[in-house]
């Protein structure tokens, strides 16, 4: 039993070690890295990727993959900006309406995947294009501005002068997700559905409902990410978060979440996000090109995987 | 009748394409020889790559590094063409294909030997290739492609551009070896059930290497055609191509679980996506509607597959009860 727990958290310990090593290495190499300002920047850079990764990790644990997360988040930034900027409605109303839109989109995904039993990648490939299309049509393909004095809380307010509010949002999202997936029956059911659908069926689990809820949850995370993103850039655009989607897969896999479902840990995915963000932030500080960062992240991903799978054999 | 039922998806796709064409032709002429050839010519590169993507999906894998592969092959091919002044068109195309083959074999090796899920492997190689090609080219376009190379795509043979002939040739070759040779049946077998295929002595490694290598080679071919068409190559080439190709395969009835594929369906899927684009342009609809239309088509195509599978399930249940 003891040995099992050690293997269970082996991956997370390694990742935390990698993160610490990178943190120390960058602090020594670059004098501007280990400052309060940059540390806070580093934290706030994690937020959108991190929140979306929580949704992605959830769907991957359930045995699927939500490719529509990025465009759903972008679509939410567009609707938020239209409600607050163009229509000048209250922030509460705008957020509530956007939340409803996001949940409906998530429910659509969940219905198609859970109740109609269609492969998640097929469905979300379609809705990915659909959500982007809706965002583009609604916004006429233009970025929609919000007056800078409005909607500042989620992405631009710093508590006590240094702590970005969005970091607290991220922390809350992590806490809720870990709570759901590690300590509630619904969360453990999703794990079982992901690892073995047949066994889950024999155990009397309502598989359809579990999968449905997973996609509603990931849509909720897309909504949360859209709050901080819209506020941070003060505008909404239909392709804002699209490029993040492959990074969320990258971070989840990095953190030990298997694409085959049932395996992985939310904490691991969070650490995966941290490692990816610190690599790009640290290399930024050293004036390395963005393309070099891409090579490093891609190479590291393959190395980690080769190591992990090689060991299994 | 049985044959028609088996090919129902292809027939439906054909009908949808014709209906869209009829709707468009109420306002602007759609069924002209020029427009049809334009659609085929414009989508020849996609069509060629979609065949390769279909093969990879048939083996139960997926390759999302197609976009960067396109960039790498077209930039390297472009540099060679500029260096030689476009004197050796065939050699230039072969170089592009060789680069694609190398990338494909790398992906295939990682998937087959290390047993890592293909989506993750290609996610990694996607980042690496894109980064390397940007670093090597400094993000600059390769321009000024000249000589006989730029004529390879547009030269008309019996009134039809060479690119379309190449597309047709690739379809014929793939059809022949996938359905008429032993190795082709092996590919389908591995896609259907890898474990069972291994037990009857089919090498999974060989099949995976072949599928990824074939896709890479076709990507090289397609990007050489594309480069000749636009007379330039850019390191940002092909962004989002993988999703387009996967969409075409899915519309054509290829299933992610592997083992089920349709060359005709995939080709019609490519044409359908091309017709939607072309039709929306002809009907003067704002370009933003394209994504929405594509999304709706994919969802409809995916949802329609459950109508095919429903009766089968009921039958299976009855057999169990009996």
pLDDT one-digit tens code per residue, A185-216: 888 888 888 888 888 888 888 888 999 999 99
Q: What's the ipTM?
A: 0.77
pLDDT tops 90 at residue A45: no
Residue A303 neighbours by CB under 8 Å, 6+ apart = none
Task: Dig out the tokens for B268 from the structure.
Answer: 């019609």
Query: Is A141 in Cβ contact with B123 (below 8 Å)?
Result: no
Whole-number Å distance between alpha carbons of B139 and A292: 12
Contact A75, A139 (CB under 8 A): no
Query: Is A140 in Cβ contact with B286 (below 8 Å)?
Result: yes
What is the Rg, in whole angstroms, of the alpha carbon atoms belonging to chain A?
20
**Percent of residues, chain A, with pLDDT higher than 90:** 23
Name the band, by pLDDT with cuts 50, 70 and 90, for residue A106.
very high
What secondary structure, in 3-state letters, does B73-101 show? HHHHHHHHHHHHCCCCHHHHHHHHHHHHH
pLDDT tops 50 at residue B228: yes
- Predicted pLDDT of residue A57: 92
Name the band, by pLDDT with cuts 50, 70 and 90, for residue A177.
very high
Query: Is A250 in Cβ contact with B299 (below 8 Å)?
Result: no
Query: Is B135 in Cβ contact with A292 (below 8 Å)?
Result: yes
Residue B172: count other Cβ atoms within 10 Å of its Cβ: 10
Residue from B64, B139, B292, B310 whose CB has the most chain A CBs within 10 Å, to mutate: B292
> Is the pLDDT higher at B211 or at B90?
B211
Phi, psi of A288 (to 5 degrees): -80, 150
Residue A215: count other Cβ atoms within 10 Å of its Cβ: 31
Whole-number Å distance between alpha carbons of B188 and B211: 11
How distant is the Cα of B4 from the closest Cα of chain A, in angstroms? 24
Coil, helix or strand at residue A65: coil
Q: Which residues of A touch B134 (CB under 8 A)?
A: 289, 291, 294
Sole residue written with tokens 């049509």:
A137
Q: Which residues of A touch B69 (CB under 8 A)?
A: none
pLDDT tops 90 at residue A309: no
Give the nearest partner residue to A130 out of B125, B299, B305, using CB atoms. B299
Whole-number Å distance between alpha carbons of B187 and B101: 18
- Predicted pLDDT of residue B122: 87
- For B51-78, what is each residue's pLDDT tens digit? 999 999 988 888 888 988 998 998 888 8
Residue A17: count other Cβ atoms within 10 Å of its Cβ: 11
- For A229-254, what is each residue's pLDDT tens digit? 988 888 888 888 887 888 888 888 88
**pTM score of the predicted model:** 0.82
Query: Is B114 in Cβ contact with A301 (below 8 Å)?
Result: no
How distant is the Cα of B151 from the closest Cα of chain A, in angstroms? 33
């Amino acid at each position: 039993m003891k040995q099992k727990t050690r293997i269970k958290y082996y991956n997370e310990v390694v990742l935390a070690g990698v993160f610490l090593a990178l943190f120390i290495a960058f602090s020594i190499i670059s004098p501007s890295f280990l400052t309060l300002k940059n540390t806070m920047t580093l934290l706030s850079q994690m937020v959108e990727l991190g929140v979306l990764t929580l949704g992605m990790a959830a769907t991957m644990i359930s045995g699927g993959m939500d490719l529509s997360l990025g465009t759903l988040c972008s679509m939410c930034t567009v609707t938020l900006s239209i409600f607050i900027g163009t229509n000048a409605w209250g922030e509460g109303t705008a957020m509530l309406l956007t939340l409803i839109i996001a949940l409906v989109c998530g429910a659509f995904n969940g219905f198609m995947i859970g109740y109609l039993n269609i492969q998640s990648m097929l469905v979300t490939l379609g809705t990915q294009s659909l959500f982007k299309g809706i965002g583009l049509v609604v916004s006429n393909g233009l970025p929609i501005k919000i007056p800078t004095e409005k909607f500042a809380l989620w992405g631009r307010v710093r508590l006590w002068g240094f702590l970005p509010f969005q970091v607290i949002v991220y922390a809350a999202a992590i806490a809720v997700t870990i709570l759901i997936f590690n300590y509630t029956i619904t969360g453990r059911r999703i794990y079982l559905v992901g690892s073995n659908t047949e066994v889950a069926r024999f155990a009397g689990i309502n598989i359809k409902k579990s999968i449905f809820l997973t996609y509603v949850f990931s849509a909720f995370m897309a909504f949360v990410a859209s709050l901080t993103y819209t506020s941070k850039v003060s505008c909404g655009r239909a392709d804002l978060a699209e490029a993040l989607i492959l990074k969320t897969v990258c971070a989840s896999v990095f953190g030990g979440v298997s694409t085959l479902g049932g395996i992985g840990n939310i904490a691991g995915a969070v650490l995966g996000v941290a490692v990816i963000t610190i690599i790009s932030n640290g290399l930024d500080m050293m004036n390395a090109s963005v393309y070099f960062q891409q090579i490093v992240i891609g190479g590291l991903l393959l190395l980690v995987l080769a190591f992990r799978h090689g060991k299994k054999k | 009748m049985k044959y028609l039922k088996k090919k129902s998806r292809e027939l439906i796709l054909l009908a949808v394409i014709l209906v869209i064409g009829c709707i468009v032709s109420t306002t602007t002429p759609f069924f002209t020889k020029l427009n049809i050839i334009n659609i085929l010519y414009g989508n020849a590169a996609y069509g060629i790559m979609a065949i390769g993507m279909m093969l990879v999906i048939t083996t139960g894998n997926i390759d999302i590094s197609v976009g960067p592969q396109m960039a790498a092959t077209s930039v390297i091919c472009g540099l060679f063409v500029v260096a030689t002044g476009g004197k050796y068109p065939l050699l230039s195309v072969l170089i592009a294909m060789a680069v694609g083959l190398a990338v494909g074999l790398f992906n295939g090796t990682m998937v087959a030997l290390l047993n890592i899920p293909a989506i993750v492997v290609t996610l990694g190689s996607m980042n690496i290739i894109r980064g390397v090609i940007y670093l090597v080219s400094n993000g600059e376009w390769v321009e000024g492609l000249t000589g006989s190379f730029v004529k390879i795509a547009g030269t008309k043979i019996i009134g039809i551009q060479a690119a379309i002939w190449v597309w047709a040739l690739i379809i014929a070759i793939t059809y022949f070896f996938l359905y008429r040779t032993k190795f082709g049946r092996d590919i389908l077998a591995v896609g259907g059930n890898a474990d069972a295929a291994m037990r009857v002595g089919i090498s999974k490694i060989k099949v995976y290497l072949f599928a990824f290598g074939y896709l890479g080679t076709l990507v090289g071919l397609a990007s050489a055609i594309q480069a000749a068409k636009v007379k330039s190559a850019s390191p940002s080439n092909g962004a989002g191509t993988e999703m387009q190709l996967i969409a075409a395969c899915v519309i054509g009835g290829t299933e992610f679980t592997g083992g089920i594929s349709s060359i005709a369906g995939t080709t019609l899927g490519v044409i359908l996506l091309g017709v939607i684009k072309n039709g929306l342009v002809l009907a003067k609809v704002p370009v933003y509607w394209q994504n929405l239309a594509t999304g709706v088509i994919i969802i409809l195509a995916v949802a329609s597959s459950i109508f095919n599978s429903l009766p089968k399930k009921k039958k299976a249940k009855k057999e169990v009860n009996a």
